[in-house]
A and B are shown apart, each in its own frame.
Chain A
Amino acid sequence: MGSGSALAPAAGGPASLAARLAGRARRLTAGWNIETRMGVVIVGVLILISLLAPLISPARPDTISILDALKGPSLAHPFGTDYVGRDVLSRTLYGARIDLLVVFTVTYIGLIVGGLAGMLAGYFGGWVDSLVGRAADSAIAFPFIILVLVVITITGSGLRGIGIGIILVGWALYARLARSEMLSLREEQFMIATRSLGYSHWRSIFRHALPNVIRSSLIYSTVDILVNLLVIAAMSYLGFGAQEPSPDLGGLIASGQPYLLNAWWITTLPGIFVVLFGFGISLIGDGLSHGDVSVGIR
């Protein structure tokens, strides 16, 4: 748009593109502290191996082999087998994949819907604000588990029901966040300038306000992902989530519970996965909130 590329090297070939991306990446991560970096690494690795599950699993997750049932960790099965001989590692990776796909989807749908509603409420005020405000308050006030159960009775068990429940509640948190950001942003001189220059409301909201408002929502979403993951795992553990033969992490943890004493690996590996993921996300959230120290000298 316009002369925005005034400082970039003249376009030419993949080499310069790679150089530019590398430069971008370096500048982007320059301010990151050790916590954020570690967190990103941990989460990044987990996400990567989960998404690549079909490629890197030692076996198919649903291959039954009664002969191999309840075998401990070995070369063929690095994390052992479960009660019908399925490879625990593969099941974990596939399960994680399901969970991650679901959790990222529902969190960001919630962010988009809620963020939009909150921005409009904060910008226009009046009845829009009242409407969004009341809807958000109701959503937050409603006991979550009951909401999910209600949804599930309609949609049937499975991640879809849990996902819908999460979105129905999650959007409200983003709406509140976006709304309060917008309320203070609205008074910034550059926002007032857009009106004094005769720009339309939509331009003011989407071109000017959005990039500023989105930041805190994105930071919050890193924590929200963790929370949602745990919620999904818990609901699945209770039996409402993805059913056999392709359960998700929560289901896997539940399935191994009867065998905890003699085949601890069935429950433990999925459990470690969840814990590591949570740890990584917390590091990122912590790191991002500690960052941003600007030293201003007048």
Chain B
Amino acid sequence: MSAGRSDTLLSVENLEITLGRHGAWSPVRNVTFDVKPGETVGIVGESGSGKSLSCRSVLRMLPPGMRVTGGRLLFDGRDILRFGRGELQALRRTGVGMVFQDPFSSLNPTYRVGSQLAEVLRISAGLDHRAARSRAIELLDRVEIADPARRFSSYPGELSGGMRQRVMIAMAIAAAPRLLIADEATTALDVTTQAQILKLLRGLRDESGMAILLVSHDIGVVAETCERIVVMYGGHVLEAGPTASVLRTPGHPYTAALLRSIPTIASAGHPRRLAAIPGQPPEPGGNLAGCPFAPRCEYRQDACEHLDMQLSPAGRDHDTACPFAGPGVPPVPGPLPTKATS
């Protein structure tokens, strides 16, 4: 029960999440990653990758019917899955804050924004009404909402999407959590608003030393904000490591293919057929053995269908689940046209 100070803040080890009885289907098969104190880690994946579920399992907030059926989740060295109600509540209140994708459905439209925020403060920090109110206004200011005292009395419907998301962030950081999980927090926002929110998150992190786990389907978002990146696909982690390293020299065919295929502004005026990845992401319900990317992979071999999907360094400074990675496989993505070469 001691607050064991370990080197790692959050450690997810071989996580498996299953829907239905008798192992009907596991949307998360074998996921391992960690977050150190003060770090910003990004999880990138398409639909069906299991990234959202993995994060929700940290707070044990899985949808009905889904359970963790394997692996460990350690927060500060302690096993979250074994937490009693009191410890879990403490975790949700002061250990980890979470921001979701759709701010409108996370805020109760019939209550004013300020009172929802103040409620969080009263519960998690035990403040009285007056203290909670003034702290709430401080928080609204910290998340860069203009005229916070007036906005305290606004209803969610009166705020723009970006502002609502800022309120959600305020609620999530109210109790100064050590880890903030942002699950597609900017996906529903305008590009310019998204940029502002990401900047806000970086600022908050720099100020308070809070760690951030940023989940997104957009590699660009993760690349700009995170020091380390975890690439997920079909319920597995395919690759993980320092962002710059993973993006410059990807160690997994999926990552390489993704980088080759995503649209970039730099291609403006250089018409090219994008190197699309054939096929589609795995359908829910299938429990494929081996590497989930195999059906679409250009380097596919027979052994891929029986792969153990363990991460190993494979000669680069980050980890990959593809044992065939080596010199030339996958090929380093060629230089894309840059502004200089237009």
Contact = CB atoms under 8 A, between A and B. Distances in A.
Q: Do chains A and B touch in the complex (CB under 8 A)?
A: yes
- How would you classify the secondary structure of chain A's contact residues: helix, strand, loop or mixed? loop
B47 interface: yes
B287 to A, nearest CB: 14
A298 B65 CA distance: 14
A243 B302 CA distance: 82
Contacts of B27: 297
A295 interface: yes
Nearest to A298: B47
B133 to A, nearest CB: 37
B165 to A, nearest CB: 19
- How would you classify the secondary structure of chain B's contact residues: helix, strand, loop or mixed? loop
Contacts, number: 9
Nearest to A297: B284
Contacts of B284: 297
Nearest to B19: A297
B269 interface: no
A298 B284 CA distance: 9
Interface size class of B (residues with CB under 8 A): under 10
Contacts of B47: 298
Interface string B55-86: 00000000111000000000000000000000
Contacts of B65: 295
A240 B52 CA distance: 65
Nearest to B184: A298
A297 B52 CA distance: 10
Interface size class of A (residues with CB under 8 A): under 10
A297 B47 CA distance: 10
Contacts of A298: 47, 52
Interface string A257-298: 000000000000000000000000000000000000001011
Interface string B12-55: 00000001000000010000000000000000000100001000
B216 to A, nearest CB: 14
A73 to B, nearest CB: 50
A204 B249 CA distance: 53
Contacts of A295: 63-65
Contacts of B52: 298
A297 B25 CA distance: 12
A296 to B, nearest CB: 9
B62 to A, nearest CB: 10
A78 to B, nearest CB: 48
Contacts of A297: 19, 27, 63, 284
A258 to B, nearest CB: 58
A297 B51 CA distance: 12
B57 to A, nearest CB: 14
Contacts of B19: 297
Nearest to B101: A298
B64 to A, nearest CB: 8
A297 B284 CA distance: 8
A39 to B, nearest CB: 27
Interface in B275-315: 284
B99 to A, nearest CB: 17
B243 to A, nearest CB: 25
Contacts of B63: 295, 297
A295 B64 CA distance: 9
B29 to A, nearest CB: 15
A64 B113 CA distance: 78
A298 B47 CA distance: 7
B47 to A, nearest CB: 6
A86 to B, nearest CB: 58
A290 to B, nearest CB: 16
A295 B27 CA distance: 14
Nearest to B66: A297
A298 B66 CA distance: 13
A297 B285 CA distance: 11
B283 to A, nearest CB: 11
B43 to A, nearest CB: 15
A148 to B, nearest CB: 43
A97 B121 CA distance: 67
Interface string B92-125: 0000000000000000000000000000000000
9 contacts: A295-B63, A295-B64, A295-B65, A297-B19, A297-B27, A297-B63, A297-B284, A298-B47, A298-B52
Given A297-B19, A297-B27, 7 more contacts: A295-B63, A295-B64, A295-B65, A297-B63, A297-B284, A298-B47, A298-B52
Closest 5 CB pairs of A and B: A297-B284, A298-B47, A297-B27, A295-B65, A297-B63
Interface of A: 295, 297-298
